[in-house]
Structure 1
Amino acid sequence: PADQTQLIPITHSVLLHVFFFIFLFALFGCLKDDLKNKLFGQHVASEIIFKAVTGFMSNKNPKKPLALSLHGPTGTGKSFVSQLIADNIYKKGRDSQFVHLFSATHHFPHQDQTATYKVRSLQDWIKGNVRNCERSMFIFDEMDKMPPGVIDVTEPFLDFYPRLDGVSFQKSIFIFLSNAGADNITQTALDFWKKGRDRKEIKLKDLETSLSASVFSHNQHGFFQSSLIDCDMLDAFIPFLPLEYRHVVQCVMAEMKARGLQPDKDEADKLARDLVYFPKPENVFAKSGCKTVANRINFYSRVLASL
């Protein structure tokens, strides 16, 4: 009987390890497939996000939370990627009670209430949710519209502290989304295009330093002179490149497939041609990226006929 009693925790431990590795195997495969088949024109972001998320989730005892800052023009996939990450980690995906979305224009609309936001609307809320689930995810959208100083309240949560007020934040994920730095990213992509170089030659090192510097020095941005940047609390600044015509076509085809429609290349080309492109006179990049694709599909006759 004594031996049998000793076997119970050992068996339980083995089962936990088995389930953990099954989860990791599924996460690695599904996230990789999603980034490959649903996110277009973002080779830099895809590689970094896959390595960062899978590496973090495979570590049973991370020393600090995962903190990623996603930057780029409108419609390039920043919000979409945050949803993909949630969908691959949580059973209910983005609808999980452990995934928390903050919108700067909704949750932090008034510049003169920074102190209130810091304490009541953010710090206590984060602490309470992590106390309920250490694997919580927090997504901060529209960082370029957030009042400067508000986000700094998260600094102690992103540091290497094992616990704060009895709460461990080390297994949580923080994702920051912003259009700030889009001009720098677009100019780099345009320079490569003008030189006839493949955009896949663009590396993180071509953008990360200038990106973090421009965000830190922008006095209307939520990261303006932020301690999160000054104290290296963010694990990566991830650039999202502006999308070209061919990427928009891929977005349209993927959306058709997601709706259960037969992908129609001619209709996808037609929709992509109808978008506005910039800068003039080159007209290389879609001004709104793929942001309007889902609704615009409804405008095209052959798509409507298949519904």
Structure 2
Amino acid sequence: MTDQDSSSSASHTEEEEDEQMEAETGPAPPPAPPAAASLSDVSSTLRAVIRIKHKYQALKKRRQEMGQLMGGVPGAPSRASPKIFTFDPVPASAWPPPTRKKRKKKRRVLYPDRRRRKAPAHEHSPAEFCLYLLSAILFVQVYNAIENLDDHVIRYDLDGLEKTLRREVLGQQGAVELLMWHLRDFLSTYVHNRPLVLSLHGPSGVGKSHLGRLLAGHFRSVLGEPLVLQYFARHRCPPEAEAPRCARQLLSLVAAAVELGEREEKIPLLVLDEAEHVRAEVLDALLGLLRSAPANQYLNAVYVFLGSLGHERIAEHLLRNASAAAMARELTPALRRRLAERHPLWAEAVLVPLGLLERSHVMECFLDEMSREGFYPDRAHIQRLAAEVQYYPAVGGREYSVTGCKQVVAKVNLL
């Protein structure tokens, strides 16, 4: 095949392609007239390129118009534009609307003034000095009050009294603790709105009279003889004596002790033993002294009553429970009702029950008494003497004495 044949076949194919594109796009626009002689020099290849470009632009324009027409019809297939990079501008409708980001509102920055400022001067108010003075006075008053409380307790030497009672009074540790608690609470101050009335009750031989003697002896040593009154009912007021006269005599003794205590700023002590033998008239007179009243001068005093009232109730409780741990808390309501039926005086008193003594306590009583009398404390001898004392039936492994240490002194004297 020669070069002519190839050129002729190429020209034929180009003509066929032009005809096909004209059939699709329509007739081509008429060629521009030859403007100048310079166009004759342009080669045929350049003319072909220009012609193809015009045809492509016409075809593209036609497709855009068809796409706009088909976009308005619902359900028409969307034709995407060919992914060909061109320099043609993209219409604004093809791009999604730009979304503007919300900017956070910044706080306004306040810059300090350039002028130099001075700190405000601290002004002292006169009330501030008054506040400091008042605080100092209050502190001194509280300190003095605390010191006064300590002075009152030290004056009565309650620590020494407690040691003596724990050593001398056998088997009554709970009663001693309750008694000392009330004494500390009352004697810590001097001004009171009511007197302290302690009523110690228990069976015979448990140490009531011995405890009263220890209290009276201790307070005589710290307060003096005139401020301590120890009153024995059957001795001071025998059955044949007149009850009104006994009442007046007792009131005069109490008045003298209280007046002396007011002058010396001390609290007197009245110990009334054998309270079960006190006449009703005497109890009425004492009840008048114990009534709380603003102008009553008998409020700063300690009254201690010793007696065996209600001892059956105490013995029954111990024999049923075989323990004296919670005796005061459990027995106080029933014992108070029992004593209030006898006289309303005991409704004003603090009840301190004394329990029964065990065999070991009776042996200690024999040991102390034999040591005082100068006998050799033989253990076997003490056990033999303790076995002669009468006891209740054993309860919970404990043997309680019926008479306590009442017979100890008589048996030691027979040795």
Report the TM-score range of the alignment, normalised by the length of the smaller protein. 0.7 to 0.9
Contact 2:149 2:188 in 1 (8 A): no
Distance 1:200 1:69 in 2: 18
Moved more, 281-290 or 266-275: 281-290
> Is 2:186 aligned against 1:56?
yes
- In structure 2, runs of 5+ residues without a counterpart are 1-144
Larger radius of gyration: 2
Which position in structure 1 is the counterpart of 2:125? Answer: none
Q: What percent identity do the matched residue pairs reach?
A: 25
Amino acid at match of 2:158: L
Distance 1:102 1:179 in 2: 16
Contact 1:162 1:170 in 2 (8 A): no
1:66-105 equivalences under 5 Å are: 66-91=196-221, 96-105=225-234
Secondary structure at the residue paired with 2:303? strand
TM-score by length of 1: 0.74
Among 315, 327, 346, the alignment partner of 1:186 is 315
Secondary structure at the residue paired with 1:180? coil
Amino acid at match of 1:148: A
Moved more, 134-143 or 176-185: 134-143
Amino acid at match of 1:287: V
Distance 1:36 1:203 in 2: 18
Which position in structure 1 is the counterpart of 2:195? Answer: 65
Contact 1:44 1:239 in 2 (8 A): no
- Residues 17 and 70 (structure 1), Cα distance of their counterparts in 2 relative to 1, 3 Å cut: closer
Which position in structure 2 is the counterpart of 1:161? Answer: 293
Which position in structure 2 is the counterpart of 1:213? Answer: 337
Distance 1:162 1:260 in 2: 55
Contact 1:27 1:89 in 2 (8 A): no
Distance 2:382 2:287 in 1: 44
Secondary structure at the residue paired with 2:226? coil
Distance 1:48 1:294 in 2: 28
TM-score by length of 2: 0.56
> Is 2:282 aligned against 1:150?
yes
Distance 1:116 1:163 in 2: 26
- Could you say what the CA RMSD is over the residues aligned between the two structures, in angstroms? 3.4
Among 176, 200, 203, the alignment partner of 2:305 is 176
Q: 1:183-229 CA distances to partner (integer Å, 9 max, x unpaired)?
A: 00000010013xxxxx2433312111111222232xxxxxx2x2323
> Is 2:243 aligned against 1:114?
yes
Q: CA deviation at 1:261?
A: 6.5
Which position in structure 1 is the counterpart of 2:254? Answer: 126
Contact 1:43 1:200 in 2 (8 A): no
